[in-house]
Structure 1
Amino acid sequence: MPLQLETARLTLRPWTESDVDAHRALVAERGDGMPSIEHNRRMIEDQRAASALTGIALLAVIRRGMGHFIGYCGLTVGRVAAFT
């Protein structure tokens, strides 16, 4: 099953290198501070690897036509946080 979905207004897709800043901001909102860029890149790589194994993912949500990142949605396995 593909890990990318598109609607008339939104694209839901796996995280990419260009999402590092947005991803870091989301992680920082959890109250543990801003992760380093390198640590954040590893988190994204880990998420992509886990998604490849399970077919379950948190996907970046992009507003189509504008290209603006507006958040994320999806599923995780168990209670393990996707950003840890």
Structure 2
Amino acid sequence: MKGFFRLLGILFALITILMGLFLLAKDENTADHAIRSWSIIAMSGALIFNGGYYYLKDRSKQGIVMTSVGAVILIMVLSVFPF
């Protein structure tokens, strides 16, 4: 289970980095709100899964804080993001 959480955390972090690079390469006038929202969702996924990994690894408070912050950010973005 720890390995699965770690793998998902790394994948979400890579998606976040790639979307950020894509936004940097795009023209400012054509930057899309949806791409920014999806990158924030990917970032919160990375926080949730990496926090879950650290919690399962050491039962540390750091994992709980990371997971909680990721969940709060995810809820905030999903409440504003139009589907």
TM-score by shorter chain over 0.5: no
More helix by share: 2
Structure showing greater Rg: 2
What's the TM-score, normalizing by structure 1? 0.30
